[in-house]
Structure 1
Amino acid sequence: MPEFCVEGVLPDKRQVAASFSRAAETYDAVAELQRAVGEGLLARLSDDFVPQRWVDLGCGTGYFSRALGRRFPDSEGIAVDIAEGMLRHAGALGGARHFVGGDAECLPLRDASCDLIFSSLAIQWCANLPAVLAEASRVLRPGGVLAFSSLCIGTLGELRESWQAVDGFVHVNRFRPFDEYQHRCDESGLEVLELSTEDRVLHFPDLRSLTHELKALGAHNLNPGRPGGLTGRERVRALIAAYERFRQPEGLPATYRVVNAILRKSS
């Protein structure tokens, strides 16, 4: 049996969970960037590191639960996500031994019970980064590794700047600055083996293609202060005109500023 404790999902996470649950069936079809980022994170793990038990934190559709299962076939895998719809989708495809509903800020796992916590593009949705790092430290065994990728300020900057030219509402998800990741990781008590950023740029033929992908991913605007109701046609036309200023030969760019981190618990 897995070493689980009482599960706790905070009420203020319900909107995030519901959004990603709705996107479970459409996510993989548009998740090229998410796969590339996670594969890059997986490649950062040392070849000689073989965990007895691993956790895919924020497993989503389970793409990386299956990848971790292939890489560590003799290890016990636990896939954790706050979105029930994602867990159902992932569980049907396998990869991990256990699929568990849980919150990264209050993990339903026992102290010192795991050797690897792998989390790709999930932590940016957690408001309390110190709590996430503290929970990872609690759950990891001595010598265990937290490997995560996340997003920081600079992500979707073209879309944010284009909306700023139209109105004052919050239309683009907010992300924490990279220096906050640095500060919080330094404070965590975990040894920082790597902490870096990289820009990954996608290109779209038009604005509708970009916004359709964000919706299919479940990553459309979830911020407080976002406008309610339908966006007026005039504002949409103004947004399109503003975004066209960024057009490149490949199309309209959408920049994702990715944080990559490898942290280790002292032996």
Structure 2
Amino acid sequence: MAETAAVLPDKRQVAASFSRAAASYDAVAGLQRRVGEGLLARLPADPAPSRWLDLGSGTGHFARALAARFPAADGLALDIAEGMLRHARPLGGARSFAAGDAERLPLRDGCLELIFSSLAVQWCADFAAVLAEARRTLQPGGLFAFSSLAAGTLQELRDSWQAVDGFAHVNRFRPFETYRELCEGSGLAVRQLALEAEVLHFSDLRQLTHELKALGAHNLNPGRPGGLTGRARLRALLEAYEAFRTPAGLPATYQVVYGVLQREH
């Protein structure tokens, strides 16, 4: 199934946004921790890989977790955001750190036994290319384990903005069925592929938008409205979002994709 690059943010904007967020990211990354730990739990206990890649390694939290789990392995942390790499290097974990693009990995064929990528590939416009690169760089038997975000993520915020002005203020993500079709057509064997909803709750809208900005994951859509949000529009947004309030607070739903694929030969 063909993908349209225009529906996803420009990669340079993504890199710059996450670079700026490097220092604040870990303090508000509860969802990212939970999802990454869920992905780690999906990895088989053995055999242990001798060389792994943390693809879209960010602050290096999961590179350090992989190093602790596979202490004898040679680990590489790769991210498109130089600011994240500068933050991660002094904290260790991986033996090597490199800037690179998931759609064009700067690695030789068949050099990896595990590619781990948590909440990174949703920013890649060409997921088919990511899968092809995973297949190219994995050894036979090697695993590509990823988590990502699917359409329906932050639907409450999207619907609230839609009621206010109809603009795309919320990042767009590919449908789960597109993930399924691309994975099944990748030449990799699909061992696991699932969609799970994670719902966070916030006391007010400002808390949610502050967290998105601190994560570097605020609106990166091409063609997003520029300039400041006027008070009247903000007041209308608050009123629209209040319709979703539950006893736990204002919900923010993330549609999380988990996949484990294997190169068979």
For normalisation by structure 1, the TM-score amounts to 0.95
- Three-state SS of the structure 2 residue aligned to 1:200 is strand
Q: How does 1:4-153 map to 2 (within 5 A)?
A: 12-153=10-151
Letter in 1 for 2:112: C
- Take 2:108 and 2:22, find their aligned partners in 1: how far apart are those partners? 28
Please name the residue that 1:157 is paired with: 155
Q: Is the 8 A contact 1:204 1:253 kept in 2?
A: yes
Deviations 1:111-142 (A, max 9, x none): 00000000000000000010000000000000
What is the CA–CA distance in structure 1 between the aligned matches of 2:182 and 2:260, rounded to whole Å?
13
1:245 correspondence with 2:227: no
Tell me what 2:202 maps to: 204
Instruction: Give, in angstroms, the shift of residue 49 of structure 1.
Output: 2.8
- C-alpha distance in 1 between matches for 2:89 and 2:108: 22
Deviations 1:126-178 (A, max 9, x none): 00010000000000000000000000011000000000000021100000000
Distance in 2 separating the partners of 1:243 and 1:144: 44
Residue type of the partner of 2:23? E
Which ranges of 4 or more aligned residues in structure 1 deviate by more than 2 Å?
none
Paired with 1:260 and 1:238, the residues of 2 have a C-alpha distance of 35
Q: Structure 2: how far apart are the matches of 1:31 and 1:257? A: 16
Show the counterpart of 2:5.
none
SS of 1:46's equivalent in the other structure is coil
- Give the whole-Å Cα distance in 1 for the aligned partners of 2:153 and 2:261: 23
Where does residue 260 of structure 2 map in the other structure? 262
The answer for unaligned runs of 5 or more in structure 2 is 1-8
Is the contact between residue 10 and residue 222 of structure 2 (CA under 8 Å) also seen in structure 1? no
Distance 2:25 2:189 in 1: 33
Matched residue type, 1:117: I
| Cα shift at 1:12 | 4.2
- Contact between 1:169 and 1:225, CA under 8 Å: does it hold in 2? no
Give the secondary structure class of the aligned counterpart of 2:195. Answer: strand
Percent of pairs with identical residues: 71
Deviations 1:211-247 (A, max 9, x none): 0000000000000121000000000000000000000
Question: In the alignment, is the contact (CA less than 8 A) between 1:20 and 1:217 conserved in 2?
Answer: yes
Q: Distance in 2 between matches of 1:14 and 1:225?
A: 15
Cα deviation for residue 89 of structure 1 reads 0.6
Tell me which residue corresponds to 1:7: none
Q: How many residues align?
A: 257
In structure 2, what residue type is equivalent to 1:219?
Answer: A
Please name the residue that 1:193 is paired with.
191
RMSD: 0.9
Separation in structure 2 between the aligned mates of residue 145 and residue 49 of structure 1, nearest angstrom: 11
Q: What is the rounded CA distance, in whole Å, between the counterparts of 2:197 and 2:38 in structure 1?
A: 13
Could you say if the C-alpha distance between residues 12 and 257 of structure 1 is closer, same or farther in structure 2, counting changes exceeding 3 Å? closer
CA-to-aligned-CA distance 1:176-210 (integer Å, 9 cap, x gap): 00000000001100000000000000000000000
